[in-house]
Amino acid sequence: MAKTLAIVMFSGTADKFIPLGVLTQTAANLGLSVRIFVTGFATPYFTKNKPEPRFPKEFEDFVPKIHEGMERIKAPSWYDMLKDAKEAGDVKIYVCSLMAEIMGIKKEDMDPIVDDVVGATYFMQESGDAEIIFI
Amino acid sequence: MAKTLAIVMFSGTADKFIPLGVLTQTAANLGLSVRIFVTGFATPYFTKNKPEPRFPKEFEDFVPKIHEGMERIKAPSWYDMLKDAKEAGDVKIYVCSLMAEIMGIKKEDMDPIVDDVVGATYFMQESGDAEIIFI
Amino acid sequence: MAKTLAIVMFSGTADKFIPLGVLTQTAANLGLSVRIFVTGFATPYFTKNKPEPRFPKEFEDFVPKIHEGMERIKAPSWYDMLKDAKEAGDVKIYVCSLMAEIMGIKKEDMDPIVDDVVGATYFMQESGDAEIIFI
């Protein structure tokens, strides 16, 4: 396995944050480094002023069942999974500087979970020979 | 090329099942192992009781044309492509145990095409140095 | 880093074309080869007769802000980013022959930015030991 998992977190719908949390936590627990590059509609969810979660229109009827199931098994939130993964291993969360600029988001608006605001070139260089996935 | 293609099949919209089938079949025919990890809204489509296919709202007007085109060229269904790929090569389909639990889906509810219900850690270890894509 | 970045460009919503452009241009500038395989609802946007851009229904309220931000920072279009990347480095754009056939799109309908219409097998072989991402 590559020693680093690099995740481009683009999609902003609430469902996609579950695999972001699970894959990051799993990789960190397996001793992999994780580099997350937040961009697109995922960006505002990494600021202090998060929008309401939005589920894909096609599966809105599934949402109550998902919520009920997550409560039943006491699944941690994506935010807590990322926070735990950062404590357990080498996990860095970067926000895309281009998207932050487009959306008018400043460094001081970022959630404390964010390590830095960087460009795509920095991310791709930092990712080295990582396995990259695009969520 | 990596010797294994690992696919996280997350999206549940009907369009995404076409590349799942095509990439799996292509990789199997090229002699690669394929490991599919089914999670998110794709999960119910791997049970015996599949929901109706749902296309992305943004492109619903394209759907009749896609259906007509697939019939015209006699394109196989994603299910048949996966089935054929499993017969042709080393292809395993795993359903995410966390998502199955959240959705209240039991092992006996799974479609026979599913090999096992496993956790993300198992999948990531099994994927080894695979090339991972997230659909 | 892998010497080749292979991108399966499947999603057709307008937001996803931004990372296609940015990642392609960044990779080309870093000296990587890039191979793009256009399929799914992205396909018609690579013809001469492009449909209107469509944003994800879930984030339509963000669109004016994105447009305003892109104009403010004079962000290039995805098309210009791909064009520049093709001039700067080894970038090839292939359209999926299966999807072209399903949609009834002929070679002569393709935008000049497209290098060829090929099958998934060709793409996967050409990608060699590339890092593959699915957008």
**Cβ separation B102–A73 shorter than 8 A:** yes
pLDDT tens-digit series, residues C26-73: 999 999 999 999 999 999 999 999 999 999 999 999 999 999 999 999
| Alpha carbon distance A104, B105 (integer Å) | 43
pLDDT of chain A, 135 residues: tens digit per residue: 579 999 999 999 999 999 999 999 999 999 999 999 999 999 999 999 999 999 999 999 999 999 999 999 999 999 999 999 999 999 999 999 999 999 999 999 999 999 999 999 999 998 878 999 999
B115 in any annotated domain: yes
- Shortest Cα distance, chain C CAs vs residue B104, angstroms: 26
**Cβ separation A104–C22 shorter than 8 A:** no
Give yes or no for a contact between C77 and C83, defined as CB atoms under 8 angstroms apart.
no
User: ipTM of this predicted complex?
Assistant: 0.95
**Cβ separation B129–A65 shorter than 8 A:** no
Strands, sheet with A116-118, edge to edge from the N-terminal-most edge strand = A116-118, A91-96, A33-38, A4-9, A131-134
Chain A residues with CB-CB distance to C62 below 8 A: 41, 44
> Considering its fold, how many domains does chain B have in total?
1
pLDDT of residue A129: 86
Domain boundaries, position B98: 4-120
B11 in any annotated domain: yes
pLDDT of residue C13: 98
Give me the residue from C55, C56, C102 closest to B75, CB to CB.
C102
For the domain that residue A13 is a member of, what is the CATH number? 3.40.1260.10
Neighbouring chains of A at 3+ CB pairs within 8 Å?
A: B, C
**Cβ separation C102–B62 shorter than 8 A:** no
pLDDT tens-digit series, residues B49-105: 999 999 999 999 999 999 999 999 999 999 999 999 999 999 999 999 999 999 999
Residue from C118, C77, C112 nearest C97 by CA: C118
Chain A residues with CB-CB distance to B101 below 8 A: 69, 73
